[in-house]
Structure 1
Amino acid sequence: MQAMPYRPAPLLSQSGLDLFDPVAAANFPQTILRYRNTRAAHSIGLETVSDADWVGYFGRFQPLPDNQPQPLALRYHGHQFRHYNPDLGDGRGFLFAQMYDDADRLLDLGTKGSGTTPYSRGGDGRLTLKGGVREVLATAMLEALGVPTSKSLSLIETGEALMRGDEPSPTRSSVLVRLSHSHIRFGTFERLAYLNDVATMRALVDFIRAHYYPDKANAAELFDAVVSNTARLAARWMAAGFVHGVLNTDNMNITGESFDYGPYRFLPRYQPDFTAAYFDHSGLYAYDRQPDAVLWNLGQLGRCLTLITEPEPLIASLNAFSDRYQSELEQAICARLGVIPTGNDAPLVAAFFKLAQELRFDGSFEGLIYDAMTGRFTTSPRAASYQGADFDSFKSLLNGYPRDRPERLPHPRLQQPDPETLLYEEIEAIWTQIAVEDDWSLFNAKLVAIDVWREALAL
């Protein structure tokens, strides 16, 4: 594989936009490299960096060559569980650098657990090692399943004992570096609307159009594209059986890419009301309510943009969300089932979800998708469950579709009886081995298995 050039592009720091504060990284007592994403590093020209220099960049945050001279904590507000909070911002992370990747996209290197900032709100600015492990696993699995997601570039253990109320403490600490297609959140716009800062909002829209949506002529066209990309993201979550957990406006960005994985879960079986966050008492961000949550968040972004453009085209874009989401969901489900969409795919998708809800055994969501994709209903370990009218209806519809890339099926991974999963119990077992024995073998093996799964699915 030919080495890619490193192409620094610290454009936000040079933009003159009043959106951030220079900050300093924490001085950690240790920097133990636990994970580096070689494939992601290759895409931005950092694959050949030595481990020692890697730790210097991503554990000590020495500036990358010709990049930002200092980390930047971004300012933003946000609706958290639909309550407005003006006291947000990067509280335990910052924008460390920007560069172009091998697809000529402008990417950000952002951190999590890198120390306190003016927006830490009394917190310690740190990330537990378990939280870092969970995010590395989440991003790898979501990428494998075709979800637009940030990528975990680096995880370094930092040698501090952290106190947390939601896990046994003291617990180990880490700093994560993620590679994202934009650090600019819906909450960035909410802050500017709150301040009635028309000039900065216009300049921010121009910056986003120039670097992320160059074919969009104005704020209304930009918003319309964000609506489409976010509808695609929500559909991909649903097709992956993924529950984000905390869909606040500060956890959504303008390129339609998923990021910031705290209390996430993958469905063990289809449960419309399944929640990932123990504190989501009302089920606001439950699995089946994620599209509605995304639409509500888009509404807040649209409201902000009325500061600089007429509301009518923004409302029209919001009204188009449901149809765009449904179209994206049909395409995403067809892709996961291994069939080519026909343009009349709503009956198949409805039959899939109806059957998925009927199958109540753990693992049924991914198991059903896997068996449908591989055509293994009769020989699957789950074969005894495939019976009844709902199954017959789904299978009949599925059999009427042309197969999508059947040449994938001989892949050795697709010859195995079970799909790759990332369920809660698996993550807990991986963490327990790390916490009790400092044994990273399960973690590393799982990442290898997920990468093989990604190659086999080729979504």
Structure 2
Amino acid sequence: MEKLDPSVPVLQQSYAEAFPELSVPWRADVPPRPEIVWLNEPLAAELGFDPAWLRGEEGLALLTGQIDGTTAQAYAGHQFGSPNPQLGDGRAVLLGDLVDTRGRHCDLHLKGSGRTPFARGGDGKAPLGPMLREAVIGEWLHATEVPTSRALAVLSTGEQIGPRQGVTPEPGGLLVRVAASHLRVGTFEYATWHLDEEVRRRLVEFTIRRHHPSADGPLGLLEAVTRAQAELVARWMVLGFVHGVMNTDNMALSGQGIDYGPCAVLDVHRRDAVFSSIDRGGRYAYGSQPGIALWNLSRFAETLLPLLGQTDPNFAVEQATTVLEQYEGWYQQAWSRLMGRKLGIDGAPEEVFALGQELLTLLEEQQVDHTGFFRALGEGRAAELVTGASSMQWMRRWETLRSATPAEMARVNPLYIPRNVHLEAALRSAHLGDLEPVQELLGAVSAPFTRRVGLDHLEGPGDGGEHFLTFCGT
């Protein structure tokens, strides 16, 4: 993009220049009447953009992909356990990358921009509702300290696109997403299945430089990615977040969460909770997420095996297995640390892990709201939500370990989350042209720990959330 103003960051094309084998030059479709629906002004400032500039003609050209150098990325993946050798950005383009004001490398990515050479049917467009959903989920996860991609902007396109879920056309939308990168397990799978070893070695070096500079070679990269994913999934689990589609093409090597399509958040605590309409077998249920992450990491390890031991394949397998066998311990350490914060207790990791697991069993048996219980615990109301001798025994044990004040517990246990019923109602309003409920919800989940006047209706789960279904519109 030509730099017309010295205060405007210049986008680079680092990935496309490094890997023409994994990129196709592609321009986004021209939306007929683009309009910014929501602009993430704090994030814009972090990236070095003046929000006023982004709202102007040049900024709108950037946000709609009407700039030079954009590309569609190639990748493969295992989808619901089955390999698909050809996926890629079917309705998205990589706008480019930049270094933000804090020195962090970031990608800008545009979703809903029309068909690309990787499209697998459809018009390549996206409804406005799912674009707003991804923005809401990303801001909530960011506010709760979960590594995540975020939305810089959501735009309406001024067109009606074919119905995705119902019978009537839907308003078109665009999402401008910011991520540490879009390198995925599926990127390495594509390179392994289609390209030569020299490309794969370059891909390892690029990923290490971009995300894990202390890693030493392919084995060090596997360890770094495994540790990062153990931390990420542990954070999802203590929050009650259900990603919904943990295919390998949705696992970012940076350790950020990415691609929030049919995701949801627990109301009643249930290990088998599935909200995605396409997850008919429950592969990606809430309680299965730690195991699925390890399964995906095993697929990543397979792509690295030829680089680990060309002369002794068995030794390569042993090396990779040694790393993967540590995943469970890293996950439990992260989960125990995070659960200890939520419970406001000090204790040995093993003690915290056991106490936390016992609590979740109680919540499930008594059908207690996940988020609501932790908030009530800090506010001294938890005994109102659970009953029975085992619950009272648990409460007494917790009291003996508690070290945090109510204020300290309130700072780590969110009050406002993107509840299924509330988020869906806000998206329906947006579909009908009323954006105020989405704006309200964005405001609530962006500062989720502080109770505010007028937001009482967003605190509880609402009616019908347990039978809620999400649809992959992103």
Query: Could you tell me the TM-score, scaled by structure 2's length?
Result: 0.86
Q: Could you list the runs of 5+ residues in structure 2 that have no partner in the other structure?
A: 1-6, 309-315, 452-474
Which residue does 2:78 correspond to in 1?
79
Mapped partners of 2:50, 2:167: distance in 1: 36
Question: Is 1:351 matched with 2:354?
Answer: no
Tell me whether 1:424 sits opposite 2:420 in the alignment.
Answer: yes
Using the TM superposition, give the Cα deviation of residue 410 of structure 1 relative to its aligned residue in structure 2, in angstroms: 8.3
What pairs up with 1:7-406 in 2 under 5 angstroms?
A: 8-50=11-53, 51-52=55-56, 53-59=58-64, 61-63=65-67, 69-309=68-308, 310-340=316-346, 342-344=348-350, 345-361=352-368, 364-377=369-382, 383=384, 385-404=385-404
SS in 2 for 1:13: helix
Matches within 5 A, 1:436-455: 436=432, 438-453=433-448
How far apart, in 1, do the equivalents of 2:93 and 2:59 lie? 18
Post-superposition Cα deviations, 1:45-64, rounded to whole Å, max 9, x if no partner, equal 114442124322102x244x
Determine the C-alpha separation between the residues in 1 that align with 2:425 and 2:103.
Answer: 39
Once the two structures are TM-superposed, the CA of residue 187 in structure 1 deviates from its matched residue by 0.5
Cα drift, residue 30 of structure 1: 1.1
Residues 337 and 370 in structure 1, CA contact (< 8 A), matched pair in contact too: no
Partners of 2:61 and 2:284 in 1: CA distance: 38
CA-based RMSD of the aligned residues comes to: 2.3
Give the AA of the match of 1:270: H
Q: Determine if contact 1:155/1:175 at 8 Å carries over to the other structure.
A: yes
Unaligned runs of 5+ in 1: 64-68
Residues 184-222 of structure 1: per-residue CA shift (max 9 Å, x gap)? 010011111112521100001011112211111201001
Equivalent position SS for 1:172: strand
Partner SS state of residue 390, structure 1: helix
8 Å CA contact 1:28–1:158 kept in 2: the answer is yes
Partner of 2:244, secondary structure, is coil
| Percent identical | 29
The 8 Å contact of residues 14 and 96 in structure 2, kept in 1 or not, is answered as: no
Residues 36-78 of structure 1: CA distance to partner in whole angstroms, max 9, x if unpaired? 111111111114442124322102x244xxxxx4111111111
Give, in angstroms, the shift of residue 429 of structure 1. 1.4
Provide the TM-score with structure 1 as the length reference. 0.89
Q: Please tell me whether the aligned partners of residues 27 and 93 of structure 2 are also in contact (alpha carbons under 8 angstroms).
A: no
Counterpart-to-counterpart distance in 2, 1:329 and 1:254: 20
Q: Give the direction of change, closer, same or farther, for the CA distance of 1:338–1:47 in structure 2 (3 Å limit).
A: farther
Query: Aligned equivalents of 2:137 and 2:347: distance in 1?
Result: 28
Q: 1:69-117 CA deviation, whole Å, 9 max, x = no partner?
A: 4111111111110111112111011211211224322111112101111
Deviation at 1:427, TM superposition (A): 1.4
Q: Judging changes above 3 Å, is the alpha-carbon distance between structure 1 residues 401 and 17 closer, same or farther for their aligned structure 2 residues?
A: farther
Q: Measure the CA separation in 1 of the matches of 2:410 and 2:170.
A: 44
Distance 2:91 2:419 in 1: 27
